[in-house]
Amino acid sequence: MNHIKCHFITLFLSLFLIGCNESTNNTDSVKPQSKEDIVQDSLQKLDSLVLKYIAKNADESIKYAKQAFKVAQTVNTPAGRAKAYKILGNAYSAVIIDSGFFFYHKALIVIDSFNLNDEKGKVLYNLGILNRSAGNYKNYKMLIDSALRFSILINDFSTMSNSFNSLGGFYYNIGEKVIARKMFDSAFAIAKRKLLYLQMGSALGNLARFETDLNKSVALLRQAISYLEKSNGSDEQIAMCLINIGYRVSDTDSALHYYNQAINMVSAEYSPVVTIAAYNNMAYCYLGKGDLRNAEKCILAHALPVATRTNNIDWQSTVYDTYADIMQQKGNPTEAMVYKKKALEAKKTYTALVSPCLINTKNN
């Protein structure tokens, strides 16, 4: 779309794959289940409900997370407590980031106290993604690296794939695209081998950006969606794929259709980056159609408030730049220059936040 100048978003994004560690353990036991086994099964089901509602209805998600904590208290085992704290972290991360940190750290304390290494990689990964959402990029990189190491040690394939996928997005954003592709390839290969559809779709969606043929790129994104639709809690990832399809298609009205689809799949509270990206790209569609009123509305009523509320410096830079273009087309060059400067300042701030990771990457 030659009239659209937008930020082609990466598919791991803010709370991407938090808590989404699908179990492939479907073997039936001939032995009667113990009370602890029954509790663990109940916690797994409640965790699935948390993930099912998290993108669209955070209150419902938190309700199931609180139920999980009550269930865990019935046997009060370390494994049950750790699982319940992780579930609470998954739910609360969507709306209250400090609460997400609190519950994940509580889970980690129990895990470390009782050597519950099966859960450690998952919690480290979730903490890493939460740090990235908070703009703590150095902690993010360190925690994801640790999650990857732990997942390899215990053959936790979903966390392994998630970690490779997230690191691929990190390297892509700092311009290390060769490394990024290797990471995405690893994420997809692991997920495909173990039939982890959520991870397969996520990795394939990221690999689609390397395809220079637009039709082939869209085909890969559609295939990614077909995998994601087979997994629980994938609404945000599907929405991201839809945004990227919208970016790739040549017809403006078709692009607007995909962006609206993405917006309607999630809530701005849980998926702020989806909301920002979709409305930012929609603004350029309207700008291309000469509809300045709707272009400005996309930014001022939606994209900019969410980027500001979530303190997403990187996206603030993009949205300021978009608004500057709108002001320029409205015949207000003075206001356009103000927002061009805001965009530049935000980009400098973002670079300063990421630079410690760049130094560590080059030294490794």
Number of domains comprising the chain: 1
Is residue 27 situated within a structural domain? no
Q: Would you say residue 362 has pLDDT above 60?
A: no
Residue 361: band (very low, low, confident or very high) from pLDDT cuts 50, 70, 90: low
Is residue 108 situated within a structural domain? yes
DSSP per residue, 184-211: HHHHHHHHHHTT-HHHHHHHHHHHGGG-
Between 362 and 123, the more confident residue is 123
Is residue 20 situated within a structural domain? no
Q: Would you say residue 10 has pLDDT above 50?
A: no
Is residue 5 situated within a structural domain? no
Place of tokens 């990795």: 203
Residues 244, 261 contacting (CB under 8 angstroms): no
As given in the structure block, the two tokens for residue 49 are: 């409900």
d(CA 204, CA 339) in angstroms, rounded, equals 35
Q: What residue numbers bound the domain in which 215 lies? A: 35-363
As a whole number, mean pLDDT of residues 262-289 equals: 94
Is residue 105 situated within a structural domain? yes
Q: Would you say residue 227 has pLDDT above 80?
A: yes
d(CA 294, CA 194) in angstroms, rounded, equals 45
pLDDT, one tens digit per residue, over 309-326 is: 999 998 999 999 999 999
1-10, 114-123, 211-220, 297-306: segment of lowest average pLDDT: 1-10
d(CA 28, CA 30) in angstroms, rounded, equals 7
d(CA 64, CA 49) in angstroms, rounded, equals 7
Is residue 353 situated within a structural domain? yes
The distance in angstroms from the start CA to the end CA of the chain is 38
Please give the C-alpha separations between residue 309 and each of 17, 265, 315, 332, in angstroms, as whole numbers: 22, 20, 12, 26
Is residue 339 situated within a structural domain? yes
d(CA 78, CA 348) in angstroms, rounded, equals 45
19-23, 59-63, 330-334: segment of lowest average pLDDT: 19-23
Provide the 8-state DSSP code for 300: I
Please give the C-alpha separations between residue 74 and each of 32, 81, 128, 331, in angstroms, as whole numbers: 19, 10, 30, 66
Q: The CATH number of the domain where 120 resides is what?
A: 1.25.40.10
Q: The whole model's pTM is what?
A: 0.89
pLDDT, one tens digit per residue, over 94-117 is: 788 999 999 999 999 999 999 999
Is residue 8 situated within a structural domain? no
Q: What is the mean pLDDT of the chain?
A: 89
